[in-house]
A and B are shown apart, each in its own frame.
Chain A
């Protein structure tokens, strides 16, 4: 495995899962694929760690689930966003973006700022 890939940030997984389900119900494997592809394999992800996250979200009521048939006719558990999950996603995205913007702004600095005036 390529160790240069980013360590997975704990807690980020939840928001990625929520995001994966925005377009409709998916089974766990599809969620894995979505995250892998969408991040260009940027996240080092032991695929197994996805499931506890899914179940936790389900038990918190952010996700709903139902058994159905996969594309190749296997029985699979499909997850979907509950309205509450959708709300949570919106909130997390906002937080993440603010955070990322702040980090980006700091990293983009080219020189030490002027000392603040003290009166």
Chain B
């Protein structure tokens, strides 16, 4: 065999061709054989025939050859690829190892960006994309009236309405609900030393069955238990089901808890089950709150209490929400508020509107979450651009290396692949660390029980999040690794090799690409900054809202008292001295400025009763609102810091005295526009109620919402549902808490050790979702700004390096250091200004699209834009200054000599 001939070099120019190889090989055999036979004396024709005969079935051999050839080819190609791949990886690690600064910075950038993306994706996935944590969750609907001003009482249903709706509707497999007016810590766990507060939810008997929640231990409520005695009246043996968390916390995961009796409010209650860990009532129905245990809601007892329950339905398979709405509209006219009162038939017309439960739980967050997602996407984009920039800078520095490799025979594809491999390794590492970062963030978020966002406790990194991670990592690597790769591979090797001197790269063209990248970065940072600015301003506007009460220096504790008596009058008679006594004692504590009691506090649960009518005026039905009702003690207004015009209740406004009430300013304006409301009379069921005072409008439902009518009754004349003690004091609540609790215990040993919560925490809780989103977007904006800074610095610094000799010449010719600095700063500012101009345009578009997330802030909000521009300019100058200093300190002689 001789050495590879000239033609072989081109024989498989277009890649290997195993089938042709086989043909060639066999043809050679036949020809060689024919030659030999001719030499033995046969004629050429006969020789060829004989050769073919001796060979046998040429075609089938050929087919076998092709098959084997293809298989081998595939294997070889795979083998080659694998070898190249390993080689690339080794090479990548070596080159990255040689430049650890670059590796660390790019991995850090990617970690932050990818980590933030995974975390936000997990939040979005849990809150928006994933179904609620119930089996066939898409069948679940929340049934409620359209929103009104009269609070929870207008968004709930009576026991009769529930039953009628359940029985008449055809769309549901099951309808259930829970008592809507449950307040935290409404139970006392007694029997073991000091009573401990517990939060119990009263649920309609089939609640868990309809939701599809399984017990981890024991069983769910039976229909008999649902009708049977409840904890509230102490007949028979009441039952309860514990939440998994409460069972673990309070009962140390006692495996034998089922069947045992625990003591609630001094009554023995049998535990029949413990719920599965996957069910978190608070996460779905009461964000930011927890539920410890569940007791059956006794509909018989509640029948006379008006609207008390929410409605949740499970649609029959295949029934749509629209069909369910039709069905509800069909039955609504026949539904009674109370079957005993025929005129209450049809009161719920138009008020039975099913929406997917998921929409009820997370629908309001939709826009915020999408905005968050976009923000974090922008971060990824900025990080990617930054990475691209860094890779490009590095590629320029390595242009020689690539040129040499190219000259030695490395194909363009191979070099691009090498660069891609580098960005893949970087983004892979970034994704890995980012995943770690996201895990930490998610774990932290999942334990933010105080943030009033639903489903937070269900947050976790799951398969989808992992898939998301991998795909964004690869995408980032591809997009941002490819650009420098193509630029390098497209470069002219000759030019590069000829080019010499410090910082020689791919020249001006290259720099233009990098400038475009930086401008993109700045523009994106602009959008983020403006969005963050708008949200931040909104948040402060929300904090500045006049709540109608002064939350600071006031704290509250649930107070337990025993007013058990047969008649309302007897209860009132028993209650009054208890309240008066408690207020006197707590008020006498050192440091206490004011003290009072209300049954409900603002920004929590609320209720309405009826519509008082101004005496002597006639209104059309439905024209007057149903005000929210608060039953308070004398002194509450002062303790809560609610401004009062007229007079407060006194202890002499007793059960037998004149009926008195206080109304809020909105109601006064509505009922008696332009008149003095104090002294006016309101009619409630033929009884005259005297308006003795008008108070400031209090934000009862939400900090951001509008305010409806509110009325306050004295606890001596109406029965409060419970007692929330409010204490105003300049002492910190933690200091005051023990003495307040001790005072309450002295008067009622049954008082459990409930939390003494600053009123501020109630407000914080109410604004926590806004704070949450604002903080996240601000964090992203800061990150964006940081990355943009890095980008600007990188480009300017690189261009200074590249122009070292040019600057040297200019300085040798007499340019002053100041002039050189100015020039560098000017080019920095040029990039920044272009970026800001583009970014402002973007920001205007984005600002308008997030207008619905803003509060009292225009999407054109001037300070946000000015702030953004100032921040970016400042950052640009700062990041341009360092390279500018370096440029001006170039020693002309050294610069020129080095060249």
Partners in one complex: yes
Where the two chains meet, the residues of A that have a C-beta atom closer than 8 Å to any C-beta of B are 25, 27-29, 32, 46-49, 51-52, 55-56, 58-59, 66-70, 72, 74-78
CA distance A77 to B4 in the complex (A): 11
- Shortest Cβ distance from B76 into chain A, in angstroms? 10
Q: Is the CB of B57 within 8 A of A48?
A: yes
Q: Is the CB of A76 within 8 A of B56?
A: no
- Shortest Cβ distance from A114 into chain B, in angstroms? 50
**Contact digits for B469-500, partner A, Cβ 8 Å, 1 yes 0 no:** 00000000000000000000000000000000
Looking at B21-29, B41-49, B653-661, the stretch in contact with chain A turns out to be B21-29
- Shortest Cβ distance from B523 into chain A, in angstroms? 57
Looking at B64-72, B625-633, B694-702, B861-869, the stretch in contact with chain A turns out to be B64-72
Q: Is the CB of A67 within 8 A of B8?
A: yes
Once A51-B65, A55-B68 are accepted as A-B contacts, the answer to whether A29 and B5 lie under 8 Å apart by CB is: no
Contact residues in A for B334 (Cβ distance below 8 Å): none
Q: Is the CB of B33 within 8 A of A74?
A: no
Once A46-B56, A69-B2, A72-B35 are accepted as A-B contacts, the answer to whether A52 and B64 lie under 8 Å apart by CB is: yes
Subset of 11 A-B contacts with CB under 8 Å: A29-B28, A29-B32, A29-B33, A49-B56, A49-B61, A59-B72, A68-B1, A69-B5, A70-B28, A75-B11, A78-B1
Q: Is the CB of B64 within 8 A of A55?
A: yes
CA distance A55 to B66 in the complex (A): 10
Contact residues in B for A29 (Cβ distance below 8 Å): 28-29, 32-33
Q: Is the CB of B61 within 8 A of A48?
A: yes
Q: Tell whether B816 is near chain A: CB-to-CB under 8 Å.
A: no
Q: Is the CB of B26 within 8 A of A51?
A: yes
Contact residues in B for A55 (Cβ distance below 8 Å): 64-65, 68-69, 72
Q: Tell whether B31 is near chain A: CB-to-CB under 8 Å.
A: yes
- Shortest Cβ distance from A48 into chain B, in angstroms? 4
Q: In the complex, which residue of chain B has the Cβ closest to the Cβ of A46?
A: B56
Q: Is the CB of A75 within 8 A of B26?
A: no
Contact residues in A for B24 (Cβ distance below 8 Å): 75, 77
Once A29-B28, A52-B65 are accepted as A-B contacts, the answer to whether A47 and B56 lie under 8 Å apart by CB is: yes
Chain B CB within 10 A, most for which of A46, A51, A52, A75: A51
Q: Tell whether B237 is near chain A: CB-to-CB under 8 Å.
A: no
Q: In the complex, which residue of chain B has the Cβ closest to the Cβ of A80?
A: B1
Q: In the complex, which residue of chain A has the Cβ closest to the Cβ of B57?
A: A48
Where the two chains meet, the residues of B that have a C-beta atom closer than 8 Å to any C-beta of A are 1-5, 7-8, 11, 21, 24-26, 28-29, 31-33, 35, 54-58, 60-61, 64-65, 68-69, 71-72, 75
Chain A CB within 10 A, most for which of B3, B32, B35, B64: B32
Q: Is the CB of A74 within 8 A of B28?
A: yes
CA distance A72 to B39 in the complex (A): 13
Contact residues in A for B71 (Cβ distance below 8 Å): 59
CA distance A32 to B56 in the complex (A): 13
Once A29-B33, A48-B61 are accepted as A-B contacts, the answer to whether A58 and B11 lie under 8 Å apart by CB is: no
CA distance A29 to B68 in the complex (A): 19
Q: Is the CB of A27 within 8 A of B28?
A: yes
Q: In the complex, which residue of chain A has the Cβ closest to the Cβ of B33?
A: A29
Q: In the complex, which residue of chain A has the Cβ closest to the Cβ of B27?
A: A74
Q: In the complex, which residue of chain A has the Cβ closest to the Cβ of B32?
A: A29
- Shortest Cβ distance from A29 into chain B, in angstroms? 4
A-B contact count (CB 8 A): 87
Q: Helix, strand, loop or mixed for chain B's interface?
A: helix
CA distance A27 to B11 in the complex (A): 18
Interchain CB contact (< 8 A) of A76 among B28, B60, B69: B28
- Shortest Cβ distance from A70 into chain B, in angstroms? 7
Q: Is the CB of A52 within 8 A of B33?
A: no
- Shortest Cβ distance from A39 into chain B, in angstroms? 15
Contact residues in A for B68 (Cβ distance below 8 Å): 52, 55-56, 58-59
CA distance A27 to B65 in the complex (A): 15
Once A70-B32, A75-B24, A77-B25 are accepted as A-B contacts, the answer to whether A46 and B54 lie under 8 Å apart by CB is: yes
Contact residues in A for B11 (Cβ distance below 8 Å): 67, 75
Contact residues in A for B5 (Cβ distance below 8 Å): 68-69, 75
- Shortest Cβ distance from B684 into chain A, in angstroms? 98
Q: Is the CB of B33 within 8 A of A47?
A: yes
Contact residues in B for A48 (Cβ distance below 8 Å): 26, 55-58, 60-61
- Shortest Cβ distance from A115 into chain B, in angstroms? 50
Q: Is the CB of B58 within 8 A of A74?
A: no
7 new A-B contacts, CB < 8 A, other than A27-B28, A72-B32, are A46-B57, A48-B57, A51-B29, A59-B72, A68-B4, A69-B2, A77-B21
CA distance A77 to B57 in the complex (A): 20
Contact residues in A for B61 (Cβ distance below 8 Å): 48-49, 51-52
CA distance A64 to B4 in the complex (A): 15
Q: Is the CB of B1 within 8 A of A69?
A: yes
Contact residues in A for B72 (Cβ distance below 8 Å): 55, 58-59
Q: Is the CB of B35 within 8 A of A47?
A: no
CA distance A70 to B55 in the complex (A): 19
CA distance A27 to B21 in the complex (A): 13
CA distance A114 to B774 in the complex (A): 104
CA distance A32 to B72 in the complex (A): 23
Q: Is the CB of A76 within 8 A of B25?
A: yes
Q: In the complex, which residue of chain A has the Cβ closest to the Cβ of B54?
A: A47
- Shortest Cβ distance from B357 into chain A, in angstroms? 62
Q: Is the CB of B28 within 8 A of A75?
A: yes
Chain B CB within 10 A, most for which of A55, A58, A77: A55
Q: Is the CB of B2 within 8 A of A46?
A: no
CA distance A56 to B5 in the complex (A): 27
CA distance A23 to B268 in the complex (A): 100
CA distance A74 to B36 in the complex (A): 14
CA distance A44 to B233 in the complex (A): 106
CA distance A27 to B61 in the complex (A): 16
